[in-house]
Amino acid sequence: MIGARPLTDRATRQAPESPAVTETAPVLTGAQIALESLIAEGVETIFGYPGGANLWLYRYLPEYPQLRHVLVRHEQGGAHAADGYARSRRGAVGVVFATSGPGALNLVTGLATAYMDSVPLVAITGQVPSTAIGTDSFQESDVIGSTMSVVKHSYLITRVEDIAATIKEAFHVARSGRPGPVLIDFPKDLQAAKTAFIRDGSQVRMRSYAAPPKPEPAKLRRIAQLIATAERPVILAGRGVIISQAENELLELAHRAEVPVGWTLLGTGAYPPKDPLALQLVGFMGAGYTNKAVCNADLLIMIGMRCDDRVTTRLDSFAPSVETLVHIDIDPAEIGKNVIPHISVVSDAREALRGLLDLVEPRNGGRWLTQVDQWREEHPIHFVNNTGLLQPQEVLLEMYARCHDEAIVLADVGQNQIWAALWFNYRRPGLFINSGGTGTMGFAFPASMGAKLANPDKTVFCVTGEGGFVMNMQEMATMVEHNIDVKVVILNNASLGMVRQFQDDFYEGVRSAVDLSFTPDFVKLGDAFGMKALSTNRREDVGPMLDEALAHRGPVLLNFDIDPDANVYPIVPLGKGMLDFVEAS
Amino acid sequence: MSQTRLLSVLVENKPGVLMRVASMIRRRGFNIDSLSVGPTEDSSVSRMTIAVHVGRQQAEQATKQLAKLIDVITIDDITGLRNVAHELLLVRLHSPPERRSEILDVVRIFRGRVVDVAANTLIVELTGSSEKVDNFIELMRPYGIKELARSGAVALVRGDQARIRLVDFDVSGNGADDEPRPAGNGAAADTTGTV
């Protein structure tokens, strides 16, 4: 064993020791200390919902005008909004408040979404008074227990003296290493209790949580060597590339060594699809040419990805020709979890890529690139319009034509998500945000509020279906109240499209509980909420409608009634292998 | 091939840590043979000894997932090392006076102790390896076991050197290692330093 350090080192959380310091330090309530601590962490925006157990926080919130509070209309919306905020602003941690019991439990799906996709979030939940915990008092729930498997870590505050250090530690845990959500359960009596508030500018020290290791130079040298000699190299990029802001390094490496680059659903945006070396989405609903490249590669370098079943399809069909599989990830538990690599590097993606850039020599992609280009021509991402009805891709092409390689695009879950990912077409790395891990329907709409608030100068499109939109449409009120300028593109096929497609193709053609033809009139719905709304089912209206939406300052709901039988292609039938993809015909 | 691996885990002595460990093990589908928790020489640290029945690759995954838990300080896979892994057995045996001496003979061979005597039963205390405890129980079964409690293993590695040391969290994932190396969340002198 190495890296030894004696156990006599105490953990960080210790109460201020001497009462003497209170003479100079202001005595504040726990609620004030919490808010002061959030400001110290650079927090500007909080999404939240008040209730009995967090009212002391809300009592003092107006005294801190530098903290913008956005009153969401459902706690789940708050969690997703904080998530969208964090994903779209580099370095930011999303913050959400909720009260005890039902309020806190409504965060669970949002926390799970952030956990799977490694999003830094701090949730502060009110809790019943510490003296009442365990008595089944009103609105009491074991929030720590309920959320344990969907957070990176959680804290129950038990002493007012611990608040400042706990919040500091929580932010450190949320944003460092592999980021993730952290929950702080904050009993209401401790929000009201008072103690001296001492600003602590020191670094967080935790003996049980350390910075991730640096990439080992020997391994990087070996990888650089392999790149130099490989005949058929492929790089796959995951969300880790985006989290570590390594897009430019990836681009530079790919160009220098002339290696084609594909990506996972969560890695969409990490590499520009219009780049000549770009492959496309990989796996279950990936492009045929990406899957062919991966399956024929002799060197496969996976960066910042988990390699889940949506990437590998049937595990034994994944990359069978690979002679050397390289996996770079910040989380050692991801190495060898699904696919066992020959070389693994546990480090931040950007550090590993920078290390490689120092070692990799310019190289000619040669015949392999010709082969990849040929596959790209044979298996282009395409769609067919057999019905004359409006196709989702026609809408997305018009939308992306108005993104100018820089709009932030959020996609919900289902067919709309894959369509939006496959047609994402930037010339440079961009932000494409979706719930790739948990696949949380209803994510995109509230998350897009967060993304816009975090990026007021950027155009934000939210691509969703009528099913997912309705799941969190209460946030229309929030969006209108704050005039959050998101353009919502509803691809309305009057059904739960992905489920319908699965039922048609994989579940013996029995359509069951997927009909959404009873969906509100979205124009009238927009009207009811005071949100501009437009609707069409005609190809020629799409462009002008998008232009009208973009010209409007404020949120706009755009309903597109699309071909109800439009399907996602390519797709690998369930249980089949990577090369068994079925394409649009 | 599955085998029982013995993990000696040092954790922060904080409320909820046992639940975090148990919850992770359940969630990831690992089978626990036994788990024991107790204080250590340092009051801020508890030691968990976990016997987990897993295959090689799963063992590595279990170790890495444990290491990710924020309150876990260090994990030492001591399977196959020269260790002392003992558990405590308390068993209430049906022992009418006419069979008592027979039973006591076996107890003596196993170096057990009688800690309670009643009209028709004895409580025997026994410590030792799980195999020894298993064997004793098998031998006692014909006499009639009325009640039984066993602690699960606690373990230390033999020799002069204490293994209570914090380890770095580089875990080689290439599967080429002979033994899964001990992994921990490790500790750095500061949060930005290298390990």
Shortest CA gap A236–chain B (Å): 18
CB atoms within 10 A of CB B77: 22
Distance CA A431, CA A242 (A): 9
Angle at A545 between CA A542 and CA A548, to 5 degrees: 150
Shortest CA gap B161–chain A (Å): 12
Cβ contact, residue pair A333, B61, below 8 Å: yes
Cβ contact, residue pair B187, A341, below 8 Å: no
Q: Which of residues 341-380 of A touch B (CB under 8 A)?
A: 341-344, 346
Q: What six digits make up the tokens of A434? A: 């979706």
Question: Domain B84-154 in CATH: superfamily?
Answer: ACT-like. Chain A, domain 2 (3.30.70.1150)
User: pLDDT tens digits, chain B, 195 residues: what are they?
Assistant: 678 899 999 999 998 999 999 999 888 888 888 999 999 989 999 999 999 888 877 888 889 999 999 999 999 899 888 889 999 999 999 999 999 999 999 999 999 999 999 999 999 999 999 999 999 999 999 999 999 999 999 999 998 877 654 443 333 333 333 333 343 333 322 222 222
Distance CA A338, CA A238 (A): 15
Give yes or no for A331 touching B (CB within 8 A).
yes
Nearest beta carbon to residue A173 from set B70, B165, B166:
B70
Weakly modelled stretches of chain A, pLDDT under 50: 1-16, 18-20, 22
Give yes or no for A214 touching B (CB within 8 A).
yes
Answer yes or no: A518 catalytic: no
Q: What is the DSSP pairing of strand A408-411 with strand B154-157?
A: unpaired
pLDDT digits (tens, 9 = 90+) for A365-402: 999 999 999 999 999 999 999 999 999 999 999 999 99
pLDDT on residue A23: 58
pTM (two decimals): 0.91
Integer CA distances (angstroms), A507 to A504, A510, B103, B134, in order: 6, 6, 63, 50
Cβ contact, residue pair B174, A206, below 8 Å: no
Residues in chain A: 585
Cβ contact, residue pair A332, B76, below 8 Å: no
DSSP symbols for chain B: --EEEEEEEEEE--TTHHHHHHHHHHHTTPEEEEEEEEE-SSTTEEEEEEEEEE-HHHHHHHHHHHHHSTTEEEEEE-TTSSEEEEEEEEEEEE--HHHHHHHHHHHHHTT-EEEEE-SSEEEEEEEE-HHHHHHHHHHHGGG-EEEEEE---EEEE-SSS------------SS--SSPPP------SSTTS--
Contact B8, B74 (CB under 8 A): no
Domains of chain A in sequence order: 22-196 (3.40.50.970), 217-378 (3.40.50.1220), 392-577 (3.40.50.970)
Give yes or no for A446 touching B (CB within 8 A).
no
**Which residue of B10, B48, B74, B75 to mutate against A (max A Cβ within 10 Å)?**
B74
Helix/strand/coil for A27: strand
Cβ contact, residue pair B166, A4, below 8 Å: yes
Nearest beta carbon to residue A208 from set B23, B61, B185:
B185
DSSP symbols for A106-159: TTHHHHHHHHHTT--EEEEEEES-TTTTTS--TT---HHHHHGGGSSEEEE---
Answer yes or no: A498 catalytic: yes
Q: Is A345 exposed, middle or buried (0-12, 13-18, 19+ CB in 10 A)?
A: buried
Q: Cα A46 to chain center, whole Å?
A: 18
Q: Where are the alpha helices (DSSP H) in A358-496?
A: 366-378, 392-401, 415-423, 444-454, 466-471, 476-481
Residues of B in contact with A346 (CB under 8 A): 169-171, 173
Cβ contact, residue pair B171, A7, below 8 Å: no
Residues of A in contact with B167 (CB under 8 A): 1-4
Contact A307, A339 (CB under 8 A): yes
Contact A398, A543 (CB under 8 A): yes
pLDDT on residue B30: 87
Answer yes or no: A432 catalytic: no
CATH 3.30.70.260 location in chain B: 3-82
Answer yes or no: A75 catalytic: yes
Q: Which of A309, A274, A308, A311 is nearest to A291 (CA)?
A: A311
Contact A328, A301 (CB under 8 A): yes
Shortest CA gap B179–chain A (Å): 13
- Of residues A302, A471, A479, A498, which has the active-site annotation? A498
- Token look-up 């790919």 returns A254
Cβ contact, residue pair B169, A210, below 8 Å: yes
Residues of A in contact with B45 (CB under 8 A): 7
The rounded percent of chain A whose pLDDT value lies above 90 is 93
Q: Is A401 exposed, middle or buried (0-12, 13-18, 19+ CB in 10 A)?
A: exposed
Give yes or no for A153 touching B (CB within 8 A).
yes
Nearest beta carbon to residue B173 from set A153, A156, A335:
A335
DSSP code, position A582: B
Angle at A311 between CA A306 and CA A315, to 5 degrees: 95
Give yes or no for A218 touching B (CB within 8 A).
no
Q: Please list, in sequence order, all residues whose beta carbon lies within 8 angstroms of the beta carbon of residue B123, skipping any fewer than 6 positions away.
A: B90, B91, B92, B93, B114, B115, B116, B117
**Which residue of A8, A158, A176, A209 to mutate against B (max B Cβ within 10 Å)?**
A209
Residues of A in contact with B190 (CB under 8 A): 203, 205
Question: Domain B3-82 in CATH: superfamily?
Answer: ACT domain (3.30.70.260)
- Token look-up 């070996």 returns A222
Residues of A in contact with B183 (CB under 8 A): 332
Give yes or no for A170 touching B (CB within 8 A).
no
Give yes or no for A327 touching B (CB within 8 A).
yes
Residues of A in contact with B27 (CB under 8 A): 149
Report helix, strand and coil shares of chain A as percent, to nearest 5: 40, 15, 45
Answer yes or no: A14 catalytic: no
